[in-house]
Amino acid sequence: MASLYVLLALSQAEAETTQGSTAILITVDQSGKGDYEKIQDAIDAVPSNNVDLVFIRVKPGVYKEKITVPADKPFITISGTRAVDTIITWNDSGDIFESATFSVLASDFIGRYLTIQNTYGSGGKAVALRASGDRAAFYVCRILSYQDTLLDDTGRHYYNNCYIEGATDFICGNGASFFEKCHLHSITNGGGAITAQRRMSPSEDTGFFFFGCKITGVKTAVLGRPWGVYSRVIFAFTYMPNIILPQGWNDWGNSADQLSSVYYGQYKCSGPGAVTSKRVDWSRVLTSEEAAPFITKDSIDGKAWIRAAPTSFKKKAFPPKN
């Protein structure tokens, strides 16, 4: 019964959204007591062009799988019960789009209480999570790698109470993403960038917006560097320790003309690393009016699509286990 209560419990963030509804329940259990023993098999069982809410409950275990949620399978939730007990792991490097342990290509996806990791280490691009679908949300997940940990590629995304660890550009891509109460941990040997946002045009409504987050690290780091000439990153109400270098940001070799279109800002951050007196002159200390568009989930139109956990479940016949 305890696990059922965990499944039905709503996080505070989820409770703020629209009420949950009934979902089809699929159970993944490595012991063979569920519907499937592998997470990918459970995803594969969901029909193409799915229109139902599907809740894939993953029992504790270490799942050595390279997982893809295809674009034609929306409305899937994959949930553990505790992130430290439900670990999805792979070891791959190379192309930034192909190396990911876990790739979300579908819209309306939710990940909950999962550890997603790429154990490749230093020396190459090694993505743990690739988020390339629209309207994806992640709650209390641990996302771990070294370089390019979270490829927040494209679409609107919401991260709540997630732990994200890496060294080089470890939150990167061109998503429109709101990070609420997340913990960002830098493991760089010194000077590595936390973000590399790739907005390429002023017409793109994208950017990384951090609200009420916490930064930690083992050595020095910068808040970000511009992958795109219109790169946009905002930190608000975020704790920054003294590992953040006084300049705050790295220019990545861009010219002064290119940097003039970058939009990097802070608003009411705290900690010794949040001091702005020595920041690069192309970053900003935002006023309340300037910060307002970026410090709520409205920045990603969240009220229209962030949904609560389902309140009831039903079973449905799916293809048998292999």
pLDDT of 9: 38
DSSP conformational letter for 19: P
pLDDT of 299: 97
Contacts of 289 (CB under 8 A, 6+ apart): none
DSSP strand E in 8-145: where?
A: 22-28, 54-58, 61-64, 67-69, 76-79, 86-90, 102-104, 109-112, 115-118, 129-131, 136-139, 142-144
pLDDT in tens, 52-104: 999 999 999 999 999 999 999 999 999 999 999 999 999 999 999 999 999 99
pLDDT of 205: 97
Section 180-191 average pLDDT: 96
| 179 within 8 A of 215, measured Cβ to Cβ | no
For the chain, where are the alpha helices, taking DSSP H only?
2-8, 12-15, 39-45, 256-259, 288-291
pLDDT of 21: 87
Confidence of residue 320 (pLDDT cuts 50, 70, 90): low
Q: Kindly tell me if the per-residue pLDDT of 2 is higher than 50.
A: no
Section 159-164 average pLDDT: 98
One-letter identity of residue 287: T
Section 110-129 average pLDDT: 97
Whole-model pTM?
0.93
DSSP string computed for 195-263: EEE---STT---EEEEES-EEEESS-EEEE--SSTT-EEEEES-B--TTB-TT-B--TT--HHHHTT-E
Confidence of residue 321 (pLDDT cuts 50, 70, 90): low
Residue bearing the bigger pLDDT, 172 or 6: 172
Confidence of residue 316 (pLDDT cuts 50, 70, 90): confident
Name the residues annotated as catalytic: 148, 169
Query: Token pair for residue 103?
Result: 């790739």
| 38 within 8 A of 66, measured Cβ to Cβ | no
pLDDT in tens, 15-61: 334 345 899 999 999 999 999 999 999 999 999 999 999 999 999 99
Cα–Cα distance measured from residue 18 to residue 134, given in angstroms and rounded to the nearest whole number: 18
Alpha carbon 79 to chain centroid, angstroms: 15
Percent of residues, the chain, with pLDDT higher than 70 = 92
Nearest to 310 by CA among 102, 3, 7: 7
Nearest to 225 by CA among 257, 249, 260: 249
Nearest to 75 by CA among 149, 12, 20: 20
Ordered domains of the chain (ranges, CATH): 2-305 (2.160.20.10)
Residue bearing the bigger pLDDT, 8 or 69: 69
Query: Token pair for residue 298?
Result: 């409205």
Section 205-224 average pLDDT: 98
Section 270-295 average pLDDT: 98
Section 146-157 average pLDDT: 98
